[in-house]
Every structure is written in C-alpha cells, then in structure tokens.
Structure 1
Amino acid sequence: MKHALMALIFGSFTFGGAASPLTQAEQQAWLEDIDFYVQQVKTQHIQPFHTLAEADFYLRVERLKTQLPVLTEAQVETRLMTISRAISDGHSNYFMMSGPHQHFPFRYKFFGDTLRVIDTTPKYRNLLGAQLSSINGVSVAELYAQLSATLPGVDNQYSEKTSFEYYLSLHKLLLGLEIVAEGQSALFKFGTGKEEVSVQVSPVSMSEFGKLSSAYSRTEPELTAQSIGMPGITLSLLRQHKAAYFAFTSYPKLEQIIAHCEDLQATLRTADSRVIIIDFRGNGGGNFYSGLALSACLQSLDQIDWMQGVYVLSDGETFSAAMTNTVQFRQILNATVVGTPTGGDPNQFSENSVFSLPNSGRRFSLSKRYYPFSDVQSDAVYPDIHIAPSWEDYRTGKDTVLTYLLSQLNAHTQLPALIE
C-alpha cells in the first residue's frame, strides 16, 4: 500500500500559499473542502470510528474550522493529516504531497534508535552515514514525538518508524508544525562519529529528491536476479544452497503470475531447488490475491522441503498485502518468518478508496474493508527468527538477514526459534 500511496501523491496543483494566513476566499474554499472530507469519512469508511470517538472527530474538525483565519495552508493540511492519523488505520490518510511540495535532500533509516543518512544529493555527500541530531534545535526524539501524530500509512510502531524516516524530509509538513520557516534554510546538526557538523539546508524539488533512495548497494550475498515474467518479482537461483530466492518488491497482476507459472515451475525443477525464500522486505502492498497465486504455483513442486524449507523475510515496510501474504504463507506454505516485525497489522482496515477535495485538489484515502487475518490479537506479524540489520553490515553492503539465513542453510543446521 505505501508504495502505491507514493504513486498517488506526486500531483501538481496551484492552490493557496504556504507562507501567509489564508485569505477570505481561501478560507471559504477550505471550509468546503473540510465539509467534503467529513462527509466522505462518515459515508465511505467501513467503520470510521473504530478507534477515534465520533465526538472527538467532530471536535477536531470544528476546532480546525474555527482556526482557519489564523492558519497557513501548510498548517491546515498538517491538521488534516493529524485528523486522518487519529482514525488509526494505515489505509485512511491525507496526502499532503498531492499538492505542491519540496523536500530536504536526505533519506534516512533507523538502526536501533539511531537515525542515519542513507542517501543525499552530491552537495551533502560528506554526510552519508551521519547520525541526525536535530533540525533547528529540535532533537530527533522531539521531532518523532511531533511528527508521529501526523504520519500516514501507519498501522503500528514499526510502520510509524518507516513513515517517519520518509516524512521527516517533507518541507511543508515541517512548516505546518512550525519546525522550519518559509523562505529560510534550516539548521541541521549531524554526528559523524568524530565531531558534530552543522549545516544550513534549503529544500529541493520533488524531482530532485525522488532520485534518492539508498547510496549503499547490497554486495553480500551475491545474487544474480532473473526476470520470471512477473513484474515486481525476480528470481535468484542459489544453487549451492539448493534455494530459490524471490525478491518480491511489488505486486504483478494476477494474470501475469498465472501466465508464467508453468515456466517458473520448469525453472525450479531444472535447478532442483529444495528451499524457497520469499523476500517481502520493503514491499508496501498491492493485490494479495497475486501473492496467493504465486503460492499456488509453488505448491505443486514436490521437490521442496515443505516442512523446513520455506522462508519469508519481513521488515517494518512489509505492509498491507505483503503483510497479509506473510501471514498466509506462514499458514499455507508452513513458512518460517525471518527478519523484523511487519509494519502492517494482521487484523486490518484496508482496500481504500481515494478522493480529491473539490477546491484544493488534495487527495485522501479511506478504508472500505476489514480483514481479520489472525485469531490472535496482535499489532504486527512477529518473526519466528528475529534479525535486525546492523549499521555496519548495511554500510558495507552486507544483507544481515539473508546472509544469516543462507549461512544456516549451508551449515545444514536447524534454525533457532529466536535470534536477538
């Protein structure tokens, strides 16, 4: 869901300004937009007040309307993000990035409680790997506390972290929270291990920020990925382990999996693969029926060790359909889940509809289905083998989780129940 979410929000609109309080005309336009938003929440969400009390929802809305004369556009949108976040399901969100926006030029990733720069523009290349300390004097812990109430795509503490990693770069959100000021650079402080570095940073365009992902390429284990006709899924044959590794980063269409199933089966039979590894890390979701089609395709292969030879890799970005398939593969493929907890809740509100506000054109989504995928109440799918990537491994290109799993397969040892 979260990657599909990103595809929805790269629109370009010209409504209002972010620096000064709203004009009378803009206030009226936002009043109409807010009323439209409220009406859709009431009528289109399958159960809008499953967590947030209805009275509290209306109180928040009325407070926003009352404050419109003294708010900027960024503050209005930040409050709408906060109201959507309070609905408390990761598929009901307000998309600030569906309007004009900029980003500070850093991509971040948590390693434990340390937030590090994993990619940036050439101007700040010396800060790769540095630990963010503060923005305009606001510490990372304080930033987290302030942003957490606004973040979209959140089902639990794990998806909250991954959402924070991304949205901390969003200039307009930091404007709305009054952490940065319009038209001014922001003071970023980083720890490099040897010293603290302070730098004034200005936001960049979405097109420039969109080029950033991670400057650290995986080099270990060495994989040779091949297309299997299923866009979003590649196959690497690890012959020394008799393993088939599927990098399942996004969801192909159901018919694409069905059309190429027989070819995939023939490839795995020829390779005499006995172990299946399906990697859902970083997968924000799609159509979980496509994932089920892949499992159905694989199940006819009697050569697979169906007792101890199927593994699913997960992390905090494993969300929506990817989380669902993680639950399902544990059940129907007898899979062992390896990695860190999923960002998705196994009992989730999902399958959202997307709406556009009539005046501003901003978009928001609301859940229209509920899926209880687990009889046990839990906020995430917790792995059978817990392994968190280390900064040192990440820095050197080593995939901590996959390397560990393959080393155990190579040693022909039974994997322990939990690795901390």
Structure 2
Amino acid sequence: MKKRFVLLMPVTWLVFIALYFIDRRLMAVPLAASIIVSLAILMINAFIVIKVSSGKGLKITMSVLSLLAVLIYSLAGIVCNPYWNSITGYANRPYADSYENTVTSKEAIEDLDYMMRFLKKDHPALLNGMPQEVEDRYKTVRSELESIDTITVNELCRKTEYVLNCLHDGHTYTFPKYDFHYLKDCFSEELAGYKTTSVNGLTIDELAEQSRDIISYEAESWEISRIRSLYFTLEGLDFLGLDNTEVTYVFEKDGDKTTRTYTQEDYALLDEIEMKTEDTATESFVSYEIDEENSLAIMTLTECNANAEYNKAVRDMFTEVKEKNIQHVAVDIRGNGGGNDAVISEFFRYLDIDEYKTCGLEWRLGFFTVPYPARSVKNEKADELLFKGDFYLLTSSGTFSSGMLYAQYVKDNHIGTIIGEAPGNDPNGYGEVVFFSLPNSKIFMSVSTKHFVRADANAGTYLVEPDISCDYSEAKERLYEAIG
C-alpha cells in the first residue's frame, strides 16, 4: 500500500516544470514563492521516501531524483530563466511616492548591486563578462554612494542610468514611477502646434548634450524623444537637473516665438488636468479612416497590441478597401513605442506578398544563448481580401521596438514606402525585455535579453531610414503628395 506513494513523486516534479513555464510567460514568480515551493516539494518527497517500505536502493534513488528535481528547477530559474524574480510588466511597476523621497547610502548600494546582478544574468552584452566601461562606471557610482548619507530617488536613478547608458541600448534603463505632475498649458489649445525650443535658457540640443550620460538610447533622436517626455513635468525637470521652482519655456510656431514662465502651481497630476477637459473618452490604440476622394485608407496604430480588437480592425479596413476599390493603404506608427510584433504578420496577410525576411536573434538564457537565424516566412494570405495597391508606412523618431521592426520588415523586404523619420532604435540592437523593481527605492528596471540581427544584413545603414525623409509632423502631408 505504501508503495503507491511512489506514484506521487513524479507528480511533485511536474509542479516544478509547470512553475518554470508559468514564471517564463504567464506571471512572475517571486524568489520567496520559489523557495517555499522547493522546500515543500522536498518535505513531501522526504515523507514519501520514509513511508515507502521498499529496499534501501529504491529509497536512495528516489531521494537523489527528488534533490535533482529541486536543483534543476532552482538552477533553471536562478541561472537561466530571464523572467525569474521579475515583475510582470511596465504597468505593474511599484510606485515611489515622490521624486524627493530619500534612501540611505546602504539602501542605495543594495539597489545598485541588485541592478547589476540581473544585468549580468540577463543582458546579452554581459554574457562573456562585464564590459570595462560598465565595470568602471559601476565602481565609480558605488564609491560615490559609499561617501554619502542619503540620496533622493531621482538622483539614484540618474546614477543607475549612468551605468547602463554606456551599453547604448534603449531597452535597458532604469526609471522611477511617480504620479507625475504635468504642465497644464502643454495640453491647452492655445499652445497647440507650438514646439518647445528651450527650457530655462537651454536649447533642446543643449539639454541633450547635458543629459547624454543619464539617458539610455541608441539613436540621438530617441534621446530627444525621452527628453521631450520629461521637461513638461516637475519630476522630469528634476531628473534632467533643471530648477523646477521657476521654469521658463520658449515656444515657436511658424516663426512666431513666445516665452512663458511657470511655477510649481502650474503643474498638476494628469487625472486632474483631464477632469477639466470636455472630452474624456479613451481612444483606441487602433483606428482607421477611408478617404474615398483620394482612394486612400489610413490605419493609425499607437501601440503594437496583437489582440482580437486589432485583428478585427485590420479585417474591417481591408473589407472596406475592397468594397470601395481603394488604391492606397497606409499605416501610421508615428510615436508607436512597440509591443507585440505579431501585428506585422497579421497586417501582411492582406498584402500581395508571398514571403518576407525576418530578423535573426540570439536569446540569452543565463550562461548560454539560443540562436534564431534570420529566415523567410511564408505569408498566410487572406486571399478573399488581398490588397494589390500601394502601401505606405508613416514613422517618427518615437517609433520604437516592435514599431521599428515593422519599419524594418517593410524596408528590407521592399514591401512599401516609408515616410517620416528613422525609428528610434538600432535594428542590430537589443530587445525582448524583462522588468525588475529595485527593492528599496522602487526604481523600475528594464533589461534586454535578446540581441537582434537585421533582416537585410547588407542594408548598410545604422537605422531604418525612410524612403521619403521629413519631419514627423509633415508625414501625412508628404503621403498625400506621394499618392498624387
């Protein structure tokens, strides 16, 4: 009867396998949960071994197998699984209460070392050891932290970004999550169409030069995009090292310049600003419009979200395109920060292409990498709605990650015409991130796990350059010029 306990042991080992794959894709399993499960399995297995009345050899074998199951799971998680002990996503980052919060020297050093631990474990650039520049910056920052009593979260974030910046990887960065206070006027109709040319006497180029070592980026245009997302907030101004008690902006539109000075009372939480606007409706990430007069359909995609809503929108648009005999189709991904690249293959199904080249990559899993060579993918065409006209893609420097991949596939496979600005990251760079939270400061950390190789290895350009180059704000106008 007691031998039936033996059948329970493989069941407990399957728990480890299930937990590993849950941690890999579905949710982040914290270290404490992993330890508790491992100890529980060992205790259950020990109980089973004691209960079994068989000979010494079987008990030894069962004990060894149990220990191996725990050991393999632990090593697979701790050493190889990049998702191990991560947080589940960007939106789930823990909050830091305020940019003025402080942590002690000891806590800051703990956070710095925590960051380096996962950087060394997961980032492809550190597979064969830490690059010398990263090592030097880490030692410099650690030494600085040892010499102080306390440090604000924003200042600590600047120092951790300084370490990561030299990897030249826009996907690997640290950033705190606060309730940001935005300049109210930046949402006003009065300043609509105006561009910011300077902040506190510094031009945007001067700001970029001043911030070059505290923002992770590949393309300088992406650094500018990051800076533009910061200087309209109290927290961002402080991060950039600017005085936020009295802030002077210079705005320009069609040669007309206006200078305005604001105090902290002129900034508010985004929810408070939105409550004062009339239109509070939430726009979808995907939409389209049909211009029958110009025989043009334009889909706007603000994020790469491959879900049922997206699939339906694509199909609905091409249904109308066929019914109305539309000759030109465009996708507007200006400012699209990325997401799931499955949006590309789904859209391509409606284009008259037989196959297309995809990028190659190496995925780091602890002490080894798994290669995925560049290859040609057969296009699973939606024959009943196949579009055979002209295709265009609108891009900006704020097009990033899977957004850049979209542009890369269009460019390297000669599928259509790209109009606008080069996307903000290197097609031969890094991506596929995992997220962590530094334990004391609650600073958010993103780390790349894959190194990508461009679909067209002979493209000869650092970025995915547009076919028709223009300022992102002029891309739609140039699209209409292109279609005549």
If the TM-score is normalised by the length of the shorter chain, which range does it land in? 0.7 to 0.9
Secondary structure at 2:351 match in 1 = helix
Aligned with residue 231 of structure 2, among 155, 168, 173: 168
Give how far 1:377 is off: 5.0
Give how far 1:149 is off: 2.3
Q: Deviations over 1:52-76 (max 9, x none)?
A: 7343243343234234336444322
CA contact (8 A) 1:64 1:79 kept: no
Query: Can you give the 5+ residue segments of structure 1 that lack an aligned partner in the other structure?
Result: 107-118, 213-226, 390-398, 411-420
Counterpart of 1:406 in structure 2 is: 480
Counterpart of 2:300 in structure 1 is: 247
Counterpart of 2:106 in structure 1 is: 28
Aligned with residue 324 of structure 2, among 254, 257, 271: 271
Give the whole-Å Cα distance in 2 for the aligned partners of 1:403 and 1:128: 15
CA contact (8 A) 2:90 2:435 kept: no
CA contact (8 A) 2:183 2:233 kept: yes
Counterpart of 1:150 in structure 2 is: 214
Q: Residues 336 and 31 of structure 1: is their aligned pair in 2 closer, same or farther, counting only changes over 3 Å?
A: same
- Where do residues 330-409 of structure 1 align in structure 2 (5 Å cutoff)? 330-332=411-413, 334-373=415-454, 374-375=456-457, 376-388=459-471, 400-409=474-483
Give how far 1:304 is off: 3.6
Counterpart of 2:55 in structure 1 is: none
Aligned sequence identity (%): 17
- Where do residues 286-301 of structure 1 align in structure 2 (5 Å cutoff)? 286-299=339-352, 300=381
TM superposition score normalised by structure 2: 0.63
Give the whole-Å Cα distance in 2 for the aligned partners of 1:47 and 1:159: 21
Give the whole-Å Cα distance in 2 for the aligned partners of 1:319 and 1:252: 14
Give how far 1:126 is off: 6.8
Counterpart of 2:264 in structure 1 is: 202
Give the whole-Å Cα distance in 2 for the aligned partners of 1:241 and 1:325: 25
Moved more, 331-340 or 318-327: 331-340
Moved more, 400-409 or 379-388: 400-409
CA contact (8 A) 1:257 1:294 kept: no
Give the whole-Å Cα distance in 1 for the aligned partners of 2:272 and 2:207: 20
Secondary structure at 2:124 match in 1 = coil
Counterpart of 1:47 in structure 2 is: 125
Alignment-mate amino acid for residue 407 of structure 1? E
Aligned with residue 181 of structure 2, among 88, 93, 102: 102
Give how far 1:141 is off: 3.9
Alignment-mate amino acid for residue 330 of structure 1? K
Give how far 1:27 is off: 2.1
Give how far 1:259 is off: 6.0
How many residues are paired up?
354
CA contact (8 A) 1:344 1:379 kept: no
Secondary structure at 1:347 match in 2 = coil
Q: Deviations over 1:233-278 (max 9, x none)?
A: 2222222233221112222325555566655543322121222211
Give the whole-Å Cα distance in 2 for the aligned partners of 1:328 and 1:243: 22
Counterpart of 1:284 in structure 2 is: 337
Q: Residues 60 and 295 of structure 1: is their aligned pair in 2 closer, same or farther, counting only changes over 3 Å?
A: farther
Q: Residues 262 and 316 of structure 1: is their aligned pair in 2 closer, same or farther, counting only changes over 3 Å?
A: closer
- Where do residues 207-226 of structure 1 align in structure 2 (5 Å cutoff)? 207=270, 211=274
Give the whole-Å Cα distance in 1 for the aligned partners of 2:407 and 2:426: 11
CA contact (8 A) 2:99 2:154 kept: no
* Bigger share in helix: 2
Q: Residues 320 and 404 of structure 1: is their aligned pair in 2 closer, same or farther, counting only changes over 3 Å?
A: same
Query: Can you give the 5+ residue segments of structure 2 that lack an aligned partner in the other structure?
Result: 1-87, 276-282, 353-380
Give the whole-Å Cα distance in 2 for the aligned partners of 1:127 and 1:298: 36
Secondary structure at 2:248 match in 1 = strand
Larger Cα-atom Rg:
2
Aligned with residue 149 of structure 2, among 69, 72, 89: 69
Give how far 1:199 is off: 2.0
Counterpart of 1:159 in structure 2 is: 222
CA contact (8 A) 1:75 1:176 kept: yes
CA contact (8 A) 2:306 2:342 kept: no
Secondary structure at 1:168 match in 2 = coil
CA contact (8 A) 2:247 2:262 kept: yes
Q: Residues 293 and 332 of structure 1: is their aligned pair in 2 closer, same or farther, counting only changes over 3 Å?
A: farther
Q: Residues 292 and 142 of structure 1: is their aligned pair in 2 closer, same or farther, counting only changes over 3 Å?
A: same
Alignment-mate amino acid for residue 207 of structure 1? L
Q: Residues 51 and 345 of structure 1: is their aligned pair in 2 closer, same or farther, counting only changes over 3 Å?
A: farther
Aligned with residue 236 of structure 1, among 283, 289, 293: 289
Give how far 1:310 is off: 1.3
Give the whole-Å Cα distance in 2 for the aligned partners of 1:130 and 1:11: 33
Give the whole-Å Cα distance in 1 for the aligned partners of 2:296 and 2:257: 45
Secondary structure at 1:133 match in 2 = strand
Alignment-mate amino acid for residue 135 of structure 2? A
Give how far 1:173 is off: 4.4
Secondary structure at 1:281 match in 2 = coil
Give the whole-Å Cα distance in 2 for the aligned partners of 1:142 and 1:263: 46
CA RMSD, Structure 1 to Structure 2 (Å): 3.6
Q: Residues 61 and 265 of structure 1: is their aligned pair in 2 closer, same or farther, counting only changes over 3 Å?
A: same
Give how far 1:324 is off: 0.3
Asked if 1:329 corresponds to 2:413, the answer is no
Aligned with residue 159 of structure 2, among 76, 79, 84: 79
CA contact (8 A) 1:242 1:275 kept: yes
Moved more, 297-306 or 351-360: 297-306
Give how far 1:353 is off: 0.3
Counterpart of 1:37 in structure 2 is: 115
Give the whole-Å Cα distance in 2 for the aligned partners of 1:161 and 1:62: 28
Q: Residues 60 and 403 of structure 1: is their aligned pair in 2 closer, same or farther, counting only changes over 3 Å?
A: same
